[in-house]
Amino acid sequence: MSSTAGKLVTSRSELNIEDYLPSGSSIHEPRGKLRLIDLIDISPTLTEAAGAIVDDSFTRCFKSNPPEPWNWNIYLFPLWCFGVVVRYCILFPLRCLTLAFGWFIFLSTFIPVHSLLKGHDRLRKNIERVLVEMICSFFVGSWTGVVKYHGPRPSIRPKQVYVANHTSMIDFIVLEQMTAFAVIMQKHPGWVGLLQSTILESVGCIWFNRSEAKDREIVARKLRDHVQGADNNPLLIFPEGTCVNNNYTVMFKKGAFELGCTVCPIAIKYNKIFVDAFWNSRKQSFTMHLLQLMTSWAVVCEVWYLEPQTIRPGETGIEFAERVRDMISLRAGLKKVPWDGYLKYSRPSSKHSELKQQSFAESLLARLEEK
């Protein structure tokens, strides 16, 4: 009976007997025997691995947080059903009509202007700029978007670039309805790619493909040429390089901060009370993402145009990028994590794992020699 009780106590609390020994005493073990605690103590690699299992901050950056269920009893369930009917049977058809009406006005004006005013580039660009802003406003209206802007509206000036945190492709639409930006964006297939190669190229947008190494050099050259033009639309870059769930910011790519021009930070924060605006492109197409927004109650967000920044004497491009990321994270209430967003699409280089393996082997051999 006593042995059974002893087993129960040990299994429940998993006590360490060394905690109850007098100070200076320890359990004697054979000399030369290597304990697991010794390995953990000497190996930062094992410590990092254990920490990654317990606190995986990288995966959390790209996870959608499902809303808490509230229709859990007989009193709330009828209200939830009524809300579903309103959103899908009343609001959604009205929003589809609004978007269709916007496209009708846009195409009936854009096509003639783009075709007939080819000899009047300045006038054509101004009209196309207004039309792109208008169709983006119709998109925001189709979500019943409630967007609050803070700070002065961006203006067309040479040698300046705007950078913002990235949650979804709708970030571009939310910003574009106020100012016709020329954005740097991944080339997409389907109807989005068609819009990219026709309508959005009229405002000077630049496309790239992550899988093509040559695209980096071409895009870098286009960026330098674009920021020098006095009449070009303001350049907008999402330096994270991927969509993050609006709770975190990942590392900013330094390319936007090495152009030798003024950097204007933009902070975007979505209110998730009605819908989560994060687009997980691996699990959901952009069409389904838009349908999710159009069948929600509203998309609510705030946009802050922050104070322009220039690189300081002796400051590197990476340090400049981190300083701007600090500003955006602080203003939007986002947590910074030391991850490269491109790891979402590709595995780390084998050089990194080889360095970790070499470090672990050296520390293990050093401890074995001590024993």
Contact 325, 249 (CB under 8 A): yes
Contact 245, 304 (CB under 8 A): no
pTM, to two decimals:
0.78
Per-residue confidence (pLDDT) for residue 72, from 0 to 100: 77
Q: How many CB atoms lie within 10 A of CB 92?
A: 16
User: How far is Cα 131 from Cα 127, in angstroms, rounded to an integer?
Assistant: 6
Nearest 5°: the CA angle 254, 256, 262 is 120
Q: What is the pLDDT of residues 195-230, one digit of tens each?
A: 888 888 888 888 887 666 677 778 888 888 888 877
Going by DSSP bridges, is the β-strand pair 299-305/262-271 parallel, antiparallel, or unpaired? Answer: antiparallel
Per-residue confidence (pLDDT) for residue 260, from 0 to 100: 86
Per-residue confidence (pLDDT) for residue 8, from 0 to 100: 44
Q: What is the pLDDT of residues 228-273, one digit of tens each?
A: 877 889 999 999 988 999 999 999 998 889 888 999 999 999 998 8
For the sheet with 299-305, list strands across it: 145-150, 299-305, 262-271, 160-164, 235-237, 182-186, 206-208
- Residues in CB range of 168: below 8 A, 6 or more apart: 243, 277, 278, 279, 289
Token look-up 């579903």 returns 84
Quick one: how many helices (H) and strands (E) in the chain? 13, 9
DSSP conformational letter for 187: -
Q: Of all helices (H) and strands (E), which one includes residue 46?
A: helix 44-54
User: How far is Cα 244 from Cα 242, in angstroms, rounded to an integer?
Assistant: 6
CA atoms within 13 A on the CB side of 309: 26
| pLDDT less than 50: residues of the chain | 1-15, 17-18, 20-21, 25, 27-29, 54
